[in-house]
């Protein structure tokens, strides 16, 4: 929503407002606000007004606007559009249970408190001393409205929605209508799960005498099986997960845009600026898009490979241990090869961890899985150590020529020889190209690792 809101606002020369809707105190988490700031900044989705920046329509936290909501809620009561409800939580639960037991599908509030004074209601069961304020839905609420994405849309009949809770905090419905009016919001863009709430909000606009905004309800992102993405079941529902995995923010922005939008020329790779310039409501699909991580991996790989080596290394820094001069030099030497193999930045440390292990300890069992017996492996490693001492310059092509010659001399298949040396110098069976890796490690580290591997085979029982 932030992505498309900002793209539209920038295209129109408008303002993008960040409002913290923190009225649900049972679900309130103190660190969430900063996480919102950090995540949006990481994605490059910056706002013009908000709690941290101020603006002409502040405050921008709903928890700091409680007197404003109470004023309008009481105004609605006085006008006969809302009423006080003293029903206890237990009484409401019993009411719904009885409705379910009788097969009643519509379990709206039964208006038990409507038209009663506090004293009248207190004389009856299921009373609580702290009332809520409910809206009084008329017999003919506005169920139809125009949606910028879906066209003419119809919502279900609403219930007598609570507007102001017993703790003095508003519900979403009252708060957003009041804030959207007071902050001069022109377009309300949100997920399709809020379609059913639109009649309630249209009534509030009508009752308060305010002009209604434009509405746009976006489809929900779906898993591959078309189920709704859940934070409890899918780590990709948590925005910080993408940062932890090493997705580039510009790739994620591009991917999210593809989830709801198609460029006029059909391109799949485009920038936020290009999205904003071409933005048109009719190009947004009302169909729930599939959130395909494989597609995101592909797209992220495209963006990674477009980075310069210096920028690639800069993006990698948070995922890598500190480097000394030798490790830094080796890392830079391998960057072009690593970049071609990288889908997520979080995968890189495993590819290059041998660079950060000056005293590599290789599992002898892994050495013996490379197609040679113990005595042959020891002999080959010792011969390789001797061969490495003669190679000058210690670069990929001379290394390849020398080790090819060694394989012929020993009568050993290239694959067995190269895999044995790969495991000896890296501890892995899969790495960037062997000779580039060896050149990046340098002669001394390669010989030290090969000698250590030979000793481990000789001393293992």
Residues marked as catalytic: 231
CA 443 to chain CA centroid, nearest Å:
43
**Of 434, 371, 429, which Cα lies nearest the Cα of 400?**
434
Round to whole Å and give the CA distance between 347 and 344.
6
Round to whole Å and give the CA distance between 99 and 108.
9
Which H/E stretch holds residue 375? helix 374-390
Round to whole Å and give the CA distance between 297 and 306.
14
Among the residues of 283-352, which ranges form H helices? 293-305, 309-316, 325-341, 348-352
Instruction: Indicate the DSSP class of residue 197.
Output: G
Q: Examine residue 103 and say whether the peptide bond preceding it is cis (omega within 30 degrees of 0).
A: no
Q: Examine residue 79 and say whether the peptide bond preceding it is cis (omega within 30 degrees of 0).
A: no
- Rounded to 5°, angle at Cα 300 from 298 and 441: 100
Q: Which residues pair with 145 in a beta bridge?
A: 153
Please report the sign of the dihedral spanned by the C-alpha atoms of residue 232, residue 236, residue 237, residue 240: positive
Task: Tell me the chain's radius of gyration from C-alpha atoms.
Answer: 32
Round to whole Å and give the CA distance between 82 and 161.
9
Assess contact for 30 and 72: CB atoms under 8 A. Answer: no
Round to whole Å and give the CA distance between 319 and 278.
35
Q: Is 3 helix (H, G, I), strand (E, B) or coil?
A: helix
Phi/psi of residue 392, each to 5°?
Answer: -155, 120
CA 173 to chain CA centroid, nearest Å:
26
């Amino acid at each position: 929503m932030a992505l498309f809101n900002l793209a539209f606002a920038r295209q129109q020369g408008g303002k993008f407002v960040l409002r913290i809707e923190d009225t649900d105190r049972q679900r309130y988490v103190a660190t969430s606000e900063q996480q919102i700031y950090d995540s949006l900044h990481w994605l490059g989705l910056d706002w013009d007004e908000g709690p941290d920046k101020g603006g002409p329509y502040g405050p921008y936290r709903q928890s700091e606007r409680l007197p404003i909501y109470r004023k309008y809620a009481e105004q609605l009561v006085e006008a006969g559009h809302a009423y006080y409800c003293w029903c206890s939580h237990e009484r409401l639960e019993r009411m719904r249970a009885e409705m379910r037991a009788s097969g009643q599908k519509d379990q709206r509030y039964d208006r038990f408190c409507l038209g009663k004074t506090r004293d009248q209601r207190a004389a009856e069961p299921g009373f609580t001393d702290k009332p809520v304020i409910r809206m009084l839905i008329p017999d003919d609420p506005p169920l139809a409205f125009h949606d910028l994405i879906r066209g003419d849309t119809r919502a279900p009949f609403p219930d007598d929605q609570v507007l102001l809770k017993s703790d003095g905090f508003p519900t979403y419905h009252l708060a957003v209508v009041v804030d959207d009016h007071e902050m001069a919001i022109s377009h309300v863009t949100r997920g399709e799960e809020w379609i059913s709430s639109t009649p309630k909000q249209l009534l509030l606009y009508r009752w308060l005498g305010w002009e209604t905004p434009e509405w746009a309800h976006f489809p929900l992102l779906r898993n591959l099986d078309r189920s709704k993405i859940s934070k409890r079941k899918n780590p990709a529902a948590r925005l910080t997960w993408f940062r932890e995995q090493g997705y580039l923010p510009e790739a994620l922005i591009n991917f999210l845009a593809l989830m709801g939008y198609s460029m006029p020329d059909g391109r799949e790779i485009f920038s936020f600026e290009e999205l904003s310039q071409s933005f048109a409501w009719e190009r947004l699909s009302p169909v729930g898009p599939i959130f395909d991580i494989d597609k995101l991996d592909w797209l992220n790989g495209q963006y990674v490979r477009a980075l310069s080596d210096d920028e690639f290394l800069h993006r990698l820094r948070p995922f890598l241990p500190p480097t000394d001069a030798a490790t830094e030099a080796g890392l830079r030497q391998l960057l072009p090869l690593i970049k071609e193999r990288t889908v997520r930045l979080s995968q890189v440390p495993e590819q290059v961890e041998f660079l950060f292990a000056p005293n590599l300890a290789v599992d002898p069992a892994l050495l013996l899985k490379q197609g040679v017996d113990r005595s042959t492996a020891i002999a080959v490693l010792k011969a390789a150590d001797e061969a490495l001492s003669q190679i000058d310059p210690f670069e990929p092509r001379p290394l390849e020529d020398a080790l090819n010659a060694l394989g012929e001399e020993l009568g050993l298949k290239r694959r067995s020889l190269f895999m044995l040396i790969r495991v000896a110098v890296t501890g892995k069976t899969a790495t960037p190209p062997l000779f580039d890796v060896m050149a990046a490690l340098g002669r001394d580290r390669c010989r030290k690792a090969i000698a250590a591997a030979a000793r481990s085979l000789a001393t293992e029982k």
